Structure 1
Amino acid sequence: MDMFAALRAFVSVVEEGGFAPAARRAGQAPSSFTRHVDALEASLGVSLLNRSTRNVSLTVAGESYYPRAARLLAELEEANNHIREGEGPPRGRLRVSLPASFARMHITPFLPRFMAEYPLIELDLVMSDALVNLVEQRIDVAVRLGALDSSSLIARRLAPHRRIVCASPAYLAAHPAPVEPQDIAGMACLTFAFADGERYWRFTQGSRLEQIRVKGPLRANQAEALKEAALAGFGLVMLPTWLVGDEVAQGLLQPVLTEWQADISRPGAPIMPDSGIHALYLPDRKGSRKVRAFVDFMAERFGTPPYWDRAL
Structure 2
Amino acid sequence: MDRFAELKAFCTVAATGGFSPAARRLGLVTSSVARLVDALEGRLGAVLLNRSTRSVTLTDAGRTYYEEALRILERLDAADEAAADGAAGVLRVAAPVTFSTLYVAPILPALRARHPRLTLDLRLDDAPANLVDEAIDVAIRIGSLDPQSNLVARKLAAHDRVLCASPAYLAAHGAPETPIALAAHDCLQFAFGAGRRTWRLQADDSNADAEDVEVRGVVHANNSEVLRQAALGGLGIAMLARWLVQRDLRAGTLVQVLPGYRVNPGPMDVGLYALYPASRRNSTKIRAFVDLLAEHLAAQDLGDHPSAPSA
Q: Give the TM-score of the pair, scaled to structure 2.
A: 0.81
Superposed CA deviations along residues 108-157 of structure 1, whole A, max 9, x for unmatched, are: 23223212311222222222222233233332222111221132222221
- Local SS of the residue matching 1:110: helix
Distance 2:235 2:182 in 1: 14
Q: Which residue is 2:156 aligned to?
A: 158
| Unaligned runs of at least 5 residues, structure 2 | 304-311
Distance 1:23 1:175 in 2: 53
Distance 2:214 2:51 in 1: 52
Q: Which residue is 1:75 aligned to?
A: 71
Residues 150, 9 of structure 1: CA spacing in aligned structure 2 closer, same or farther, 3 A cutoff? closer
Distance 1:81 1:103 in 2: 26
Q: Which residue is 1:176 aligned to?
A: 174
Q: Which residue is 2:96 aligned to?
A: 99
Q: Which residue is 1:224 aligned to?
A: 225
Of residues 270, 291, 301 in structure 2, which corresponds to 1:275? 270
Of residues 99, 110, 113 in structure 2, which corresponds to 1:113? 110
Distance 1:260 1:128 in 2: 30
Distance 1:237 1:277 in 2: 20
- Local SS of the residue matching 2:107: helix
**Does the CA contact (< 8 Å) of 1:19 and 1:33 recur in 2?**
no
> How do 1:11-22 and structure 2 match up within 5 A?
11=11, 17-18=19-20
Distance 2:163 2:36 in 1: 58
- Local SS of the residue matching 2:72: helix
- Local SS of the residue matching 2:265: strand
> How do 1:109-148 and structure 2 match up within 5 A?
109-148=106-145
Superposed CA deviations along residues 10-35 of structure 1, whole A, max 9, x for unmatched, are: 55677595499659935xx8876565
Q: Which residue is 1:192 aligned to?
A: 190
Residue 103 (structure 1) shift: 1.4
- Local SS of the residue matching 1:93: strand
Amino acid at match of 2:296: R
Residue 264, structure 1, aligned to residue 265, structure 2 = yes
Of residues 287, 290, 294 in structure 1, which corresponds to 2:285? 290
**Does the CA contact (< 8 Å) of 2:48 and 2:61 recur in 1?**
no
**Does the CA contact (< 8 Å) of 1:140 and 1:281 recur in 2?**
yes
| Unaligned runs of at least 5 residues, structure 1 | 266-271
Distance 1:31 1:177 in 2: 63
Amino acid at match of 1:200: T
Amino acid at match of 1:201: W
Distance 2:139 2:256 in 1: 30
Aligned residue pairs: how many?
295
- Local SS of the residue matching 2:218: strand
Distance 1:307 1:80 in 2: 38
Amino acid at match of 2:248: E
Superposed CA deviations along residues 149-184 of structure 1, whole A, max 9, x for unmatched, are: 132222221111000001011101112111221221
Q: Which residue is 2:242 aligned to?
A: 241
- Local SS of the residue matching 2:193: coil
**Does the CA contact (< 8 Å) of 2:167 and 2:255 recur in 1?**
yes
- Local SS of the residue matching 1:215: coil
Residues 277, 167 of structure 1: CA spacing in aligned structure 2 closer, same or farther, 3 A cutoff? same
**Does the CA contact (< 8 Å) of 1:165 and 1:239 recur in 2?**
yes
Amino acid at match of 1:146: G
Residues 95, 62 of structure 1: CA spacing in aligned structure 2 closer, same or farther, 3 A cutoff? farther
Amino acid at match of 2:74: E
Bigger mean CA deviation after superposition, 285-294 or 33-42? 33-42
Residues 179, 84 of structure 1: CA spacing in aligned structure 2 closer, same or farther, 3 A cutoff? same
Residue 235 (structure 1) shift: 0.8
Amino acid at match of 1:276: G
Larger radius of gyration: 1
Residue 63 (structure 1) shift: 10
- Local SS of the residue matching 1:216: coil
Residue 90, structure 1, aligned to residue 92, structure 2 = no
Amino acid at match of 1:202: R
